[in-house]
Amino acid sequence: MKSFDAIVIGGGQAGPFLAARMVEKGMKVALIERKFLGGTCVNAGCMPTKTLVASARAAYVARNSAVYGVNIPGEIAIDMKVVRARAETVTMNARNGLIGWFAGMDGMTVIYGHARFEDPKTVSVNGETLTAPRIFLNVGARPVIPDLPGINDIDYLTSTSIIHLDTLPRHLAVIGGSYIGLEFAQMYRRFGTEVSVIEHGPKLASREDEDISDAIADVLRSEGIDIHTGVSDIAFARSSDGITVATDSARIDASHVLIATGRKPNTDDLGLDAAGVISDKHGYITVDDRLATNVDGIWALGDCNGHGAFTHTSYNDFEIAAANLLDGADRKLSSRILAYALYIDPPLGRVGMTEKQARASGRKIMISTRPMSRVGRANERGETKGFMKVIADAETKKILGAAILGIEGDEVIHGIIDAMNAGTTYPALQWSVPIHPTVSELIPTVLGDLKPV
């Protein structure tokens, strides 16, 4: 049995950075990764997908360049082999950077293999047993495959496998109308593929307010994406030239099917029972406000604890754990203000409560909206789709939440994120003097238009 000061299971966006901090403190750490360092973000999520999004946007801009007085003769062609290679290069550069970083650390042992608990202080991997007083789980999540008629008879794609395509689908059917599915839907439409989105719920991006969801659908429909919502029955069958997707309202002749119906944590084969670690009915590991599980000496970080399936929330889990365990701080998960983005074009930047959540809270609230067509930067760039929306507490004057669907919305939202984290009231933020011409300059204007509801 090999002994360490700490064992980290999973090489995503929390565990490795925590391992590095512990090594800096002179600890002996084992980092166990089943497949690739970097987790979903580096290998199958943010980095490759946003690289693909950038290629798709380049194609879109080229096709629409005449609007700006730039004429490109001939048809805009897509070389999917080059598109795929570019995304793989970005991934490999990041992954190899992590490999090189850890290789240079005295006290860090990187082990590739499948780890399982033998007891609360012991794990087995590759036929060896390792023990440590502290064990951190950062095992991530994977796509959920629903049990639908005929699904096992077809060769479907997931968010992990679709990034390796080097040919262009004739017609892509996307099953699931949430964030992952919508990004791939617009991306492949811009590459030139016919795209249909099939969603069980009554609207796309069901976490959002109805006005945001409707605007997202408008953006996608304007680019020729076929959207089906409220679909109760879906079945698949092989056809002579692809896959038939039959629903209760339509029949789609697809060449490829992307399953984007959610993700589930990689906790079902960790041997949690042997350690006595509690998880919920969906497999998410139960943690307290400091990310500790019910078993002393075991923590769960990142996607597997169910408190944010994002790279930035996973990294914040590392910050919380490192601050509390190594720096004598007392940081809490409950202090985090959730923010995220949907990377369609234009993007959606989101922070805090939706209008629906704010109304349900019983607060007296104020709301302001402004269409992007009234934003100078948006008009100058010829990108006026979407709108801004801010919700505030009428009594405390604190901002409760915001949504910016529009050009640079994923960047502009950070002005509000920072204000909310600093506890700044909206009247104080109104007096800032932003730079013109930008999208962010409209934040004080939107706040000035807040009205009680």
Give 70-87 pLDDT, tens digit per residue.
999 999 999 999 999 999
Kindly state whether residues 382 and 316 are assigned to the same domain.
no
Based on the number of CB atoms within 10 Å of its own CB, is 98 exposed (0-12), middle (13-18) or buried (19 or more)? buried
* Segment 337-347 mean pLDDT: 98
User: What does the pLDDT average to over 279-307?
Assistant: 97
> Catalytic residue among 114, 256, 312, 436, which?
436
d(CA 429, CA 223): 36
Q: Are residues 329 and 287 in the same domain?
A: yes
Average of pLDDT values for 419-436? Answer: 96
94-to-36, 45, 50, 56, 210 alpha-carbon distances in Å: 11, 12, 14, 21, 38
Beta strand extents in 81-239 (DSSP E only): 108-112, 116-119, 122-125, 128-131, 134-137, 141-143, 171-175, 194-198, 226-228, 234-239
- The secondary structure of the chain in percent helix, strand, coil, rounded to multiples of 5, reads 35, 25, 40
Task: Please list, in sequence order, all residues whose beta carbon lies within 8 angstroms of the beta carbon of residue 232, skipping any fewer than 6 positions away.
Answer: 200, 248
For residue 254, the domain's CATH number is: 3.50.50.60
Residue 146 within any structural domain of the chain: no
Same domain, 55 and 116: yes
Of the candidates 7, 13, 5, 4, the one whose C-alpha atom is nearest the C-alpha of residue 36 is: 13
193 and 120, same structural domain?
Answer: no
Could you give the CA distance from residue 2 to residue 183 in angstroms, rounded to a whole number?
44
What is d(CA 276, CA 295) in angstroms, rounded to the nearest whole number?
A: 7
Residue type, 32: I
Average pLDDT over residues 58-63: 97
**How far is Cα 61 from Cα 396, in angstroms, rounded to an integer?**
44
Q: Is residue 95 domain-resident?
A: yes
Residue with structure tokens 């992952």?
180
Check if the beta carbon of residue 189 is closer than 8 Å to that of residue 78: no
What are the residues facing 398 on neighbouring strands? Answer: 425
Tell me the residue range of the domain where 14 lies: 2-141+264-335
**What is the count of structural domains for the chain?**
3
Residue 335: its pLDDT value, please?
Answer: 97
437: cis peptide before it, omega within 30°?
A: yes
Of the residues 217, 243, 261, the one at which a domain ends? 261
pLDDT category of residue 165 using cuts at 50, 70 and 90: very high
Q: What tens digit of pLDDT does each residue of 201-251 get?
A: 999 999 999 999 999 999 999 999 999 999 999 999 999 999 999 999 899
Q: CA-CA distance, 332 to 35, in Å (whole number)?
A: 31
Please state, as a whole number, how many other Cβ atoms lie within 10 Å of the Cβ of residue 101: 13
Q: Look up 436 and say whether it is catalytic.
A: yes
User: Are 10 and 116 found together in one domain?
Assistant: yes
The most distant pair of C-alpha atoms in the chain lies apart, rounded to whole Å, by 70
Domain boundary among 335, 350, 376: 335
Tens of pLDDT along 34-55?
A: 999 999 999 999 999 999 999 9
Residues 438 and 402 placed together within one structural domain of the fold: yes
* Torsion over CA: 375, 413, 64, 183 (sign): negative
| Strand ranges, E, within 329-425 | 339-342, 348-352, 365-371, 387-393, 399-405
What predicted TM-score, i.e. pTM, was given to this entire model?
0.96
Instruction: Count CB neighbours of 133 within 10 A.
Output: 13
pLDDT recorded at residue 111: 97
List the structure tokens of 66.
């005449």
